[in-house]
Amino acid sequence: MDNLALYIVTSLIFMPVVGAIVLLFLPAENKSLLRWFTLAITLLVLLPLLGIAMPGADWLSFQVGDGGVQHVVQLSWIPSFDIQFFLGIDGISFPLLMLTAVISLLAMGASWTIDQYVKSYCVLYLLLLAGMIGVFLSLDFFLFYVFWEVMLLPMYFLIGVWGGPRRQYAAIKFFLYTLVGSVLMLIALLMLYFNSDLRKLSPQQLTASYVAAWDNGGNLLSAEKYKQQLEVSEHAVHTFNILALQQLGQNSDAFDQRLLYGKSVQWWAFVLLFVGFAIKVPSVPLHTWLPDAHVEAPTPISMILAGLLLKMGGYGIIRICYPICPDAGYDLAWLVCSIGVISMVYGALAALAQSDFKRMVAYSSVSHMGYVVLGLGVWSATAGNLFDPTAWNMGVKGALFQMIGHGISSAGMFFMVGVVYDRVHHRDLNQFGGLYGKMPVYTAMAMLLFFAGLGLPGLCGFIGEVFVVLSAWNFSPTLAAIAAAVVILTAGYILWAIQRVYLGPQYHGPHEEALTEINRREMAVAIPLCVLAIVLGVFPAIVFRYMDKTVDRQVTDLTRWTEEVKLPRLRAAEAEADQEVAANEP
Amino acid sequence: MQTLLPYLPSLLAIAVLLPLGSFCAILLGAQWLGAKGKFAGTLATTAVLASTVLSFFSAGIWFTAHPAGAVDHAAHEVPPVITGHGYTLATLAGTNVGINYYIDALTIVMFCLVTFIATCIHFYSTSYMHDELDDVVDQEALLEDGESLHRPGRYARFFQSLSLFCFSMLGLVLSGNYLMTFVFWELVGLCSWFLIGFYVERTTASTAANKAFIVNRIGDFGMLVGMMALWGSLGTLNFGDIDQQQGIFSQVRGEENHYALKVPDGMVRLAAGRQIEALALHATEPLTTEQLAAKVNAEMPVWREANLGYGLLIIAGLGIFCGCVGKSAQFPLHVWLPDAMEGPTPVSALVHSATMVAAGVFLVARSYPIFLPEVLLVVACAGCITLLIGASIALVATDIKRVLAYSTISQLGYMMLALGCGGWAAGVMHLVTHACFKSLLFLGSGSVIHAVQTNEMPQMGGLWRKMPWTAGTMLVGCLAIAGIGIPSVFGLPIGLAGYYSKDLILEQVYAFRSENPLWGSFFFAAAAGGACLTAFYMFRMWFLTFWGEPRAAKRFDRAHESPRVMVVPLVLLAILAVCVAWPAFSWFGLPTLSRSIEQARPAGIWADMHGALWHITLPEESKGHTAAVTSPVGLIELGAALAGIALAALFYAWKVLDPEDVSRSFHPLYHTLYRKWYFDEIYQAVFVRGTMALAHCASLLDRLLIDRLVDGLARLGVGLARLSDLWLDRQGIDGLVNWFAEQTYRLGSALRTLQTGSLRQYVMLIVASTVAMFLLISFWTLALTG
Amino acid sequence: MSFLYEPIGLSHYLAVGAFLFVCGIVCMATKRNALGILIGIELVLNGAILNFIGFASPYFRDENLGLDGHLIALFVIVLAAAEAAVALAIALNFYNNHATIDVDRASELKG
């Protein structure tokens, strides 16, 4: 039975790929067949995940009590560099996987309006899905990178072919920006790989991080045996295993040697990785691809972009940046938090100034993702043993929840903009008005999703925001206060947009006759989003349930690291400074 | 009854959830609720009526279990409280964040108040909003071609929002931690947004709604900061202790400290972060956590002596108060409330006078244990300024609802002033009595507006003949808000509801004055003057509306008394406005208002409080009840009220003085008041424009700087590529090849000139060359041999 | 002037040959008349023949060309006759076409 679970996990990636191949043999004229088939594939991705989410079946269910990685799939892929096909699920990736599956399904539902080159669209869409699932599943850094790139190309075409008038500019901008990030990540990846050394890990750590090796017969070696093999090795044994890299970063000095300008390897790796992920998040000032890409992309792709792609940046930071380079993370916490807060303020201000509906929503994403960066960056260890993990725990959980909540609300907002764009073919905020009277059901749902974006209590946007903001106080009251002030700006741009679009006596733009009530298909997309927005807002525990143990464990690990490694270092530096002072005094 | 005490939280929870049920039912099933959703009104009213019944039943249970006895300030009793845990939102490293409840007498009183007034207003609304049952022609929402807007009625939607409001308001009252308070705080703000903007087609309405929401969010920002300060230092947001976990109140006013206010350890520790860091890092050898904790504890008294953490507690208090400033429309965030009158009148009565705006006062009262004297002084100042601003603008407003709105602002200022001067019970009591008579006044004004179809008082007059019930009940309301009462009959003061509460406030301010002459004199002058102004503007309103001759005959002719379903709530509320605060109920064994409130007095507020940073002393409340204070204050208050009424009568009833004349002679002042002290204009110019300018800057920065930079980089890349193409390939390698070809060609053409075709030249050339070669070879051989 | 008093030797042959050769060259270089040029060519050839004859004589030098020199001289004479025939034919044709035998006018094939 155990193997079955592993096949199921693997199928999450390969199902869309197989689907894409099958699509190639379907007739291109039969558009509805193509769409329904793609929808069925996305559903086939969602169903196993639902099965994993449900408690009950021990062999398949996600074990809520286990903070480690579950459902590990491990195969050798490129043995000469120890690159493995290494997948696993834990509490950080699982909620994001669920989000990916749900949003992909709904975005496919929103793709019925795509009427040109449906076949290529569906193929690219499924490849994109495979890439996204792969990113969240892979635990091998190289594999992660491969999926990261796999995701990029379909996105480029989806924006560049099916997008709006400036699609080529937007697509190439998106592509180049993201590629720069990937390149930085690749550099960091290689830096980490060539500095890693498995010999520095104990057998327990090897087991915990699923370091695997196979003997000539293809049988898996036990950790002890492998350790013995490692002991006799004369050269450093490099690895791409993310879990092992985490262990190395926290338990050894593998990444501590000086590299450039007196900074250590992990400092540089952290900076490179962070910039790479910050582009994806996106953080100010690396955000300008986002408004263009979101605005020009077709509605379903905007949903995917805002709902899922941005989350990969946050996921990368929590999965790779902090655990692997804790020392740099500790030192650069200020930078990360400041970038988060600047993004929040800047995004909100820029959103306030937009007159394009979709652009406003796009900037709101910048602002909301700033909360994620802030929450992840809050490293509330005030030096001097007074480590309060609660605030940090809260920040990380808040950031993760904000990713889920923002995934729902931003996808919903983009969809709602798309619904009205399909009808009147313009997005100028100043040329709307009075939709309340013409499309009451649509307006009610749109308002709900916009209020979710505004962070209204009882809806999904609130929990993440308030947790992040609360957690930030112990790190820096100033930053926390600025972050809290963003709620005013958020209310400003969302309410102003609602007023201009939905309220008012009458619609004053073109194509008034086309404003018909939301249809069944659109309802089928919007209702799940609305329901999720409410349910997650009222019972956030259904998400926290999955992430609790893993986040607790990661925070505990890093807390232990702070106390055992970082604080003695600080103490030593302090003592040195004291001695210098003493020496200078006559 | 006492056996039912354990079920009290469940009863109140049901009372909270019933309106939510009604909201959901109307939201999802409006089209099945009878023709045009008529049944929605019944459903919502039933739900809130059931909540009322449950609330009063709970009150019965509570006061049986904890009888509200005579006030005894010496008893130093801890108020009876029930706290508990609803469900968990998240678990953070062992700390639970969730939905809790905190029930004391204040909660019970607020429950009864909110549900009762809400019920009255629901009944009233079923009639007031009946226009919305059919298609509506909205005269105030004009289309672009100048026509009035036709739209379907939204009767069900109105009651839907009202139900949601009742749910949120009751949830706010019941909440047991700041996070939950914040949640419901925002939700009432949302309901207020819905209800102010009920006429969504009117731009003024939606703008007013947005203004209300955004201004409230400014307050909420402060509240978030306050919550952060509390959470960051204390690690909890719970009010009371739940399951061994200490709440905020017991951390600030611990039992071991006799409930006196003390900066909690957590705050000291957070404020002393640097010192602790120094302790830890400069230790000669690494300390274990326990050793460090012991060292820190040893240092704690020193730090506490140095007032470390005091500032943090001030920030927390000011932050929470900032939220209250927004919600209770205190200066400087009072600007949203008058505009909120764009909503239907029942909304103004329920949300913007009786309950939601009083939530700020409620929260100050609730958070009283953590407020330092310094914070309370800020509260008092804000209240004092608000009280004067509100009253002064109400003097000149002509819109009947705006008069009431400014009056509400002014009365809320009174409450804040009382709380800030240490008058906990006085402030809360004024909250209750004000809710009664102000909702009465609003409903009365609604009845008038319903009859004459205008808000402008200059177009009314003489209406008492047409609507005697409305006029009568409103007169009661005016008398109550003016605070008419007789200081002592048979040893007991007798008066309308407002008399008791206002008297308490003035007494407290008077007592405060004796401790802090500078601040106190100012406050007392403002409070007494405010009382006079209150009486004046209320009776100005009453006289202008109901007295004298009708000034708009057409409207007067159409006017009629409102239907019974609107009058009955008026009468009920009028009765309440008269007798809600009577102390005489204790003769029948009933809990009186003041004793009920007194029972909820937080632990530790029975003693004087002294500020550590500024020299302020807040007198404990019983000091205001001594004969030396009560007799002069009672007379001053009555005198002020009567003077105000008399002045109003001089102007508007007996017409001895001409208001036009006065306004002309004080023109600059009149104009300033008429323009509401220019607050809207200043805010618009400074904050709204400023923010928009910043926003445009950000947007431009994106497009002009970052995008240009990125595009420039891209162009640079393309340019570099072009350059390499041009220089390296075309000029370099290609160039070399081409150069050879060209030189060869050139050589060819140069040699071609020799080929003249002229034989003689050829011959000459041959000869010459031969000779030359010969010579050359000769010389060469010569040179070799020689 | 011992040259004039010496018995006839190789140098005399060469001197006459050179004289003829130079006359031929000068004639070729200065005449525009095709026949004049032809005459010049004949002179050059004859000058060259004299050289060959001179070098072929066993009386003048030990290392002589012998019979080969005479043979070459005969070949040259034959060649000159053939060449004269062809050249005269060209000249005649040229004259027929252009009514002149000025070689400078014969520039139609010039590139």
C touches which chains (3+ CB pairs under 8 A)?
A: B
Q: Of the candidates B324, B413, B332, B412, which has an alpha carbon nearest to the alpha carbon of residue B370?
A: B324
> Which residues in chain A are closer than 8 Å to B96, comparing Cβ atoms?
none
Chain B interface, best mutation among C21, C22, C23, C28, by max B CB count within 10 A: C28
B178, B230 in Cβ contact below 8 A? Answer: yes
Structure tokens at B292: 């460090």
* Rg over CA atoms, chain A: 24
Name the one residue in this structure whose structure tokens are 């600059």. B668
Q: Closest-CA residue in chain C for B762?
A: C29
CB A143 within 8 A of CB A132: no
Query: Cβ of B767 and C30 within 8 Å?
Result: no
Distance CA C39, CA C34 (A): 9
**What pLDDT does B684 receive?**
87
Question: How many alpha carbons lie under 13 Å from residue A49 in its C-beta half-sphere?
Answer: 27
Instruction: Determine the length of chain C.
Output: 111
Percent of chain B clearing pLDDT 70 (strictly above): 97
Mean pLDDT of chain B: 86
Contact B767 C25 (CB under 8 A): yes
Instruction: Please tell me which of the candidates A173, A350, A382 has its beta carbon nearest to residue B699.
Output: A350
Q: How confident is the model at residue C102 (pLDDT cuts 50, 70, 90)?
A: confident
pLDDT in tens, C36-59: 888 988 898 999 999 998 888 888
**From C28, which residue of chain B is nearest by alpha-carbon distance?**
B760
Query: What SS3 state is found at B90?
Result: strand
How far apart (Å, rounded) are the C-alpha atoms in residues A165 and A180? Answer: 25
**Nearest CA to A412 among A523, A539, A509?**
A523
The answer to whether B278 contacts A346, with C-beta atoms less than 8 Å apart, is: no
Nearest to C28 among B756, B757, B763 (CB): B763
CB contact under 8 A, B151 and A437: yes
Per-residue pLDDT, A381: 53
Task: Name the phi and psi angles at C107, rounded to 5.
Answer: -120, 20
CA-to-CA distance for A152 and A144, rounded, in angstroms?
13
Dihedral angle computed from the Cα positions of residues C97, C101, C107 and C109, in that order, rounded to the nearest 10 degrees: 60
Instruction: Note whether A470 contacts B144, CB cutoff 8 Å.
Output: no
For residue B771, the chain C residue with the least C-alpha distance is C22
Picking from B93, B190, B221, the nearest residue to A487 by CB comes out as: B221
Question: What residues of chain C lie within 8 A of the CB of B755, using their CB?
Answer: 111
State whether residue C96 sits within 8 Å of chain B by CB: no
3+ Cβ–Cβ pairs closer than 8 Å linking A and C: no
C104 in reach of chain B (CB within 8 A): yes
In total, chain A counts a number of residues equal to: 586
Question: Which 3 state secondary structure label does DSSP give B110?
Answer: helix
The per-residue pLDDT for range B728-754, each reduced to its tens digit, is: 887 888 888 989 999 999 999 998 887
Enumerate chain B positions whose Cβ falls within 8 A of a Cβ in C: 752, 755-760, 763-764, 767
* pLDDT above 50 for A559: yes
Amino acid at A101: A
Angle between the N-to-C axes of helices B517-546 and B373-394, in degrees from 0 to 180, rounded to the nearest 10: 30
Residue of A nearest to B140 (CA): A505
Q: What is the mean pLDDT of residues A29-52?
A: 91
Q: Under 8 Å CB-to-CB from B429, ≥6 apart: which residues?
A: B500, B501, B504, B581, B593, B594, B597
* Structure token digits, residue B542: 């009453």
From B696's Cα to the closest Cα of chain A, the distance in A is 5
Domain ranges of chain C: 33-101
Q: Up-side HSE of residue B531: CA atoms within 13 Å toward CB? A: 28
Distance separating alpha carbons of residues B468 and B546, to the nearest angstrom: 9
B661-672 tens-digit pLDDT: 888 888 888 888
Subunit contact B763:C25, Cβ cutoff 8 A = yes
SS3 category, A539:
coil
Q: Inter-chain contact B229–A456, Cβ cutoff 8 Å?
A: no
Kindly report, residue by residue over A459-517, the tens digit of the pLDDT. 998 988 988 988 888 888 888 899 999 999 999 999 999 999 998 888 888 888 888 88
Q: Which of A367, A473, A543, A578 best probes binding to B when mutated, by most B CB atoms within 10 angstroms?
A: A473
CB pair distance less than 8 Å for B698 and A350: yes
Which residues of chain B are within 8 Å of residue A555 when distances are taken between CB atoms? 93
* Cis-peptide, bond into residue B344, ω within 30° of zero: no
Phi, psi of A237 (to 5 degrees): -100, 110
- All residues of chain B having their beta carbon less than 8 Å from the beta carbon of residue A488 are 214, 217-218, 221
Q: By C-alpha distance, which of A418, A41, A440 is closest to B37?
A: A440
Taking CB atoms and an 8 Å limit, are B757 and C25 in contact across chains?
no
pLDDT in the model for residue A1: 44
Label the pairing between strands B95-103 and A83-89: unpaired
Contact assessment for residue B760 and residue B766, using Cβ atoms and an 8 Å cutoff: no
User: What is the pLDDT at residue B76?
Assistant: 61
Q: Is the pTM of this model over 0.80?
A: yes
Distance between CA atoms of residues B373 and B618, nearest Å: 7
**Is C30 in Cβ contact with B759 (below 8 Å)?**
no
Pairing of strands A263-264, B82-92: unpaired
Q: How far is B750 from chain C (nearest CA, A)?
A: 14
Which residues of B are less than 8 Å from A434 in CB distance? 201
At B77-90, the pLDDT tens digits run 778 888 888 877 77
Q: What's the burial of A76, exposed, middle or buried (CB within 10 Å: 0-12/13-18/19+)? A: middle
The ipTM assigned to this model is: 0.91
Asked if the C-beta of C30 comes within 8 angstroms of chain B's C-beta atoms, the answer is: yes
Check CB contact under 8 Å for B760 and C107. no
pLDDT band at C75 (very low <50, low <70, confident <90, very high): very high
DSSP A486: H
3-state secondary structure of A181: helix
- Contact between C110 and B767 using a beta-carbon 8 Å cutoff: no
- Return the number of other C-beta atoms located less than 10 Å from residue B49's C-beta: 17
CA atoms of B527 and B505, how far apart (whole Å): 8
Per-residue confidence (pLDDT) for residue B120, from 0 to 100 = 92
Closest-CA distance, B500 to chain A, in angstroms, reads 38
Residue B83, pLDDT score: 87
Chain A residue with the nearest C-alpha to that of B185: A457
Determine the distance from the C-alpha atom of residue A509 to the mean position of all C-alpha atoms in its chain, rounded to a whole number. Answer: 37
CB A13 within 8 A of CB A137: yes
Query: Across the interface, which of C103, C109, C111 has its CB nearest the CB of B759?
Result: C103
CA B741 to chain centre: 85
Banded pLDDT at A127 (limits 50, 70, 90): very high
Q: How far apart are CA A172 and CA B509, in angstroms?
A: 69
Are the Cβ atoms of B183 and A462 closer than 8 angstroms? yes
Give one word for A194, left, alpha or beta, with left for phi > 0 and alpha for psi -120 to 50.
alpha
Residue A217 Cα distances to A79, A95, A221, A246, B1, angstroms: 14, 38, 10, 29, 79
The 3-state DSSP composition of chain A as helix, strand, coil percent (nearest 5) reads 75, 5, 20
Residue of A nearest to B700 (CA): A350
Token reading at B516? 């802090």
Query: C111: pLDDT confidence band, cut at 50, 70 and 90?
Result: low
Q: How far apart are CA A241 and CA A243, in angstroms?
A: 6
Chain A / chain B CB contacts < 8 angstroms:
199
Q: Is the peptide bond before A282 cis (omega within 30 degrees of 0)?
A: yes
Residues A228, A222: Cα–Cα separation, whole Å: 10
For A428, phi and psi rounded to 5 degrees? Answer: -75, 115
Q: Do C25 and B759 touch (CB under 8 A)?
A: no
Q: For residue B761, what is the nearest residue in chain C, using CA coordinates?
A: C29
pLDDT tens profile B320-366: 999 999 999 998 899 999 899 988 999 988 888 888 888 999 999 99
For the cut 70, the answer to whether the pLDDT of residue A386 exceeds it is no
Token duo for residue A459: 């809806």
Low-confidence ranges of chain B (pLDDT < 50): none
Mean pLDDT, residues A424-441 taken together: 88
Candidates A96, A123, A97; CA nearest to A111 is A123
C68 CA: distance to closest CA in chain B (Å): 25
What residue segments make up the domains of chain A, in order of their start?
A: 332-539
B286/A568 touch (CB, cutoff 8 Å), yes or no = yes
Interchain touch C–B (≥3 Cβ pairs closer than 8 Å): yes
Residue A116 pLDDT exceeds 90: no
CB B163 within 8 A of CB B48: yes
Cis peptide before A285 (omega within 30 of 0): yes
- Residue in A492, A195, A165, A189 with CA at minimum distance from that of residue A296: A165
| Crossing angle of the two packed helices A93-109 and A520-538, in degrees rounded to 10 | 160
**Cα→Cα distances B62→A480, B77, B102, B118, B500, Å:** 41, 17, 13, 21, 24
